[in-house]
Amino acid sequence: MRKTFKYDVFISHSSIDKPEVRALAERLKNDGLRVWFDEWEINIGDMIGLKIEQGLEESRALVPVMSTNAFASDWVMLERHTAIYRDPTNAQRRFIPLRLDDAEIKGTPKQFAYIDWKMKDESQYDKLFAACQSPVLLKKSLGKGKSKAIPCKILQAQNSSIWG
C-alpha cells in the first residue's frame, strides 16, 4: 500500500443521489478531510474514466454510497470492484461502505459492515469520519480538544462497531 495519498477518501455514488452525497462530502471536507468528489475533480474535457481511476489510486479509502440508485449504476460497480480487487479482505480498511437507503445489499458488499447513514445520525458520522482519517491527521489531532479527530486507541475500540 502507498505510504501517502493525495486524498483521504474517494466518495463513490450514483449521480441521482448527488444532493445528499454532496452535503456529506462538504461536511467531511469542512472537518478537515481531503475528499475526492467527482464534481470537484472532473473538469470539462477530462477523460472521466481516467480521472476516476486516478482518484481511486490517490485515495486512502473508498466510501461506496450504497443505495437503490448506486446498485443500478455501472460506474459505482466499477469503482467498488476496483477497491475490492486491490484489497479483497479489506485488511487495510480502504473500503468503507455507507448505506444511504433501505436497498437490499447483495453480492460482495453484503459481507462488509457499513456506516448506516439512513437517519444521518451523529454517531454514524463520527464513525465514518474516524474511519476515513489518514494516520497523519490522527497523529496531529491527538491532544487537541476541539478537533473532530479520534485518537488511535479509541479507533481500535470502535473497530468492532464500525466493522462488525
Which residue's entry shows cell 473538469? Answer: 43
List of residues 6+ apart from 105 with CB closer than 8 A: 66, 99, 114
Helix (H) or strand (E) holding 155: helix 152-163
Cα–Cα distance list, 81 to 64, 134, 151 (Å):
10, 22, 30
State yes or no: is 79 an active-site residue: yes
Question: Using CA atoms, how far apart are residues 2 and 125, in angstroms rounded to an integer?
Answer: 26
Identify whether the C-beta of residue 58 lies closer than 8 Å to the C-beta of residue 1: no
From 39, 79, 104, 122, the catalytic residue: 79
Please give the grid coordinates belonging to residue 51. Answer: 480521472
Torsion from C-alpha of 162, 81, 52, 104, nearest 10 degrees: -60
Which residue's entry shows cell 502507498? Answer: 2
Catalytic site residues?
A: 79
